[in-house]
Structure 1
Amino acid sequence: MGLHGHVHEVEPVVLGYTFTGAELRLSDATLNTNTYIGRISIKTLINDNQNSLAHVELLIGELSFGALLHEKGYPTVPSPTDPAPDENEDYFNGGYNTWVHGSRLNA
């Protein structure tokens, strides 16, 4: 996962999970398919988390990283409060470390 701050009009912390803003706007059912689970930088966490949380729960659920940051006063995308950027908002989906060293390539 990439963690990004930026100088935009809207100032949330951006969690780049290798998904585009358009992908984050897809339905929960679509995001929970193997196609999208297989492409996210936290794939290993989805397959091995203590509470057996589904993919979407880890992205925008009450126990997601975005929810935890938001509860501490840091508006975050994605989170339960702001699950995806608006169509006209910039969204950074991850840099080199996220793409190369995240778990999206794990079997």
Structure 2
Amino acid sequence: MLRLFRVLGKRGRITIPFEIRQRIGFRYNDVLSFIQQDDGSVLVRREKICDNCNEFAEEFEENFTLEDFLDSLSEEEQRDALVHLSLKWVEKQNVSLPFASAKKK
């Protein structure tokens, strides 16, 4: 049994040790889910979010731009992306907006 220790950072972040990622097969950009069991233990697993991801990727031409991707989204998906990116930009600029402080309460 492999037992490794890591310290949980003040923002709740932790790096999964390379040895564990390698054994389990976790890779960069994998989507992970965390399920708390009745006994208090936590199950971590990689989620499959696309049934035909490889086929989908092959449909894109090599010079597929960010603008091409955004244009391919539905109006609702474009709105969600705009809201997400706007909030990320505000966080990086350290700007205080009236609705941002109300959201945290």
TM-score (norm 1): 0.23
Q: Which has the higher helix share?
A: 2
| Bigger-Rg structure (1/2) | 2
TM-score (norm 2): 0.23
- Ranked by relative contact order (alpha carbons within 8 Å, sequence separation 6 or more), the top structure is 1
